[in-house]
A = this chain, B = another copy of it.
Amino acid sequence: MHIHVEGVAGLPIIHKGDDLLALICEKVVFADGDILCIASSVYSKAKGYTKILSDITPTERAVRIAGKTKEDPRFIQAVLDASTDVLLEYPFVLSEVSCGHIGVRAGVDQSNIEDGMLILLPPDPMAAAAGVREAVQKITGKTVGVIITDTCGRSFRRGQTGHAIGWSGMTAIRDFRGDTDLFGHVLKITEEAVVDEIAGFANFVMGESNNGVPAVVFRNCGTWTGHDDLYFRPDEDLTRAMLKKETG
């Protein structure tokens, strides 16, 4: 399997209302089966999923948390507004957002946007991915897979990695149930989170800081079968259960 991976560079700084997909399709010659990864931040900027910090009035809770984390209470309010379940308040807010993703500060970001502005995660990243897929189809006639990525930390290991928060045209999990290994044993490890493996490498290609590569195209990744149950249910998520116990 020879895979070709290319960062989409040379895009202008994106603002609300920009036709991000038209801009990307100007830079990329898509083929059927390609996978397009887009950073949630640039998608949200184009769609206007942003907030002006000075428009936010923090609640008492936000002021209390911000006192502990030493962040702007208005920023914390934006994080709380984006959260459906707060798992941890300190040393950083860790929370679930409506799509089921659990991340630090609910993915609210102050970088790569004008001073005093915040970038939110897309409120429905699955719909976002499906919409991007449709847009590429409409503009280029090509059928691609799409992953919307976010950058998050993880347990035990330092450093952020890219994660998938929305996807379309593929399943999140490649399911090996019933498959056998090289020796004919039925496999015990049966589920591989392929969208996160692809999103992680897309994040590597994007880089952070000022690279200006908010999208990455993968060619020849093949296909797989599986399912979309990427997030543990609360009752099967050990880490979450412990965090909830700890924080009450």
Interface residues on A, range: 35 or more
Copies of this protein, total: 2
List CB contacts (< 8 Å) of A59-96 with chain B.
Answer: 88, 91
Are A231's CB and B161's CB within 8 A? no
Assess whether A7 is interfacial by the CB under 8 Å rule. yes
- Docked pose: A200 CA to B143 CA in angstroms: 25
- Docked pose: A159 CA to B188 CA in angstroms: 12
- Docked pose: A2 CA to B205 CA in angstroms: 9
The answer, among B155, B183, B221, for a CB contact under 8 Å with A113, is B183
Residues of B within 8 A of A40 (CB): none
Are B115's CB and A230's CB within 8 A? no
Assess whether A158 is interfacial by the CB under 8 Å rule. yes
Assess whether A58 is interfacial by the CB under 8 Å rule. no
Residues of B within 8 A of A55 (CB): none
With known contacts A180-B210, A213-B1, A193–B157 Cβ distance under 8 A: yes
The answer, among B112, B157, B205, for a CB contact under 8 Å with A182, is B112
Are A196's CB and B200's CB within 8 A? yes
Are B239's CB and A161's CB within 8 A? no
Question: Which A residues are closer than 8 A to B by beta carbons?
Answer: 1-7, 9, 13, 88, 91, 102, 110-115, 151, 154-163, 172-174, 176, 179-183, 185, 187-189, 191-194, 196-198, 200-201, 203-205, 207-210, 212-213, 221, 229-232, 237-240, 242-243, 246
